Amino acid sequence: MKYKGIIFDLDGVLVYTDKYHYLAWKQIADRLGIYFDEEINNRLRGVSRMASLEIILERSTQKFSDEQKEELAEEKNEIYRQYLGGLTQRELGEGVLQTLEKFKTMGLKLAVGSSSRNTELILKKTGIYEYFDVISDGNNISKPKPDPEVFIKAADMLGLLCGQCLVVEDAVSGVLAATAANMDCAAIGDAAKHKMATYNLESFNQLTDIVS
Ligand code: B16
Ligand code: MG
């Protein structure tokens, strides 16, 4: 087999939580009178909570202190977690369950490599927590994507070399992070056409052909 480990991004790859990030940020932006739409939201994919807030505040004329920014980020997270309360297996990406099942039977090591600090909750609510050998996420990194830290740590936790792992990503920041980690990257969704991606996926199910 070409790879020994697969490192999955969470939001936008395994689970469609991206719409809840959008709705939560939209609520904050509307309250502050800042213009925010789906296109701006695409720039938030894969980047940390605080970096997302900074992108939203680019359109604000008001200045915010670090303390106010912390409060806004916390407020967004509370709204987001309310949405997560209703999360079920229905929000899993198409083909995710079958693919994870197949990769497990093939003996591949599986990791999550996400910028989110809500990874465990999301994996448990959608019933896929048990499929993963390790989780590398916003809780154990100091530098968010596009820095490669989250993926390098995931490979390390799996006991594998970077070159033995394939990253699956939906965000440009994630494709850049995988490239900087010297890992092959299968890009889907928003990042699918990115020139740095090793594989451009039209559907999640195509992963099986790449890996076999
Ligand atoms: P949280 P990923 C990322 O997840 C999201 O795409 C991004 O929009 C979000 O700001 C980031 O997680 C942090 O999430 O607020 O839950 O800690 O795509 O890296 O799985
Ligand atoms: Mg993502």
Residue 212 has pLDDT above 90, yes or no: no
Decide: 21 in ligand 1 pocket, CB within 6 A. Answer: yes
In this prediction the pTM is 0.95
Cβ of residue 148 lying under 6 Å from some atom of ligand 1: no
Segment 16-73, tens digit of pLDDT: 999 999 999 999 999 999 999 999 999 999 999 999 999 999 999 999 999 999 999 9
Buried/exposed code over 101-132 (b: 16+ C-beta within 10 A; e: otherwise): ebbeeeebbbbbbbbbebbeebbebbebeebb
For 74-108, the pLDDT digits (tens) are 999 999 999 999 999 999 999 999 999 999 999 99
Residue 44: other Cβ atoms inside 10 A: 22
Average pLDDT over residues 140-159: 96
- Ligand nearest the Cα atom of residue 46: 1
Q: Is 122 in the pocket of ligand 1 (CB under 6 A)?
A: no
| pLDDT (tens digit per residue) in 154-172 | 999 999 999 999 999 999 9
- pLDDT category, 124, cuts 50, 70, 90? very high
Q: Break the chain into its structural domains and give their ranges.
A: 5-16+89-211, 18-84
- Please state which CATH number belongs to domain 5-16+89-211: 3.40.50.1000
Fold annotation for 18-84: DNA polymerase; domain 1 (1.10.150)
Residue-level pLDDT at 190: 82
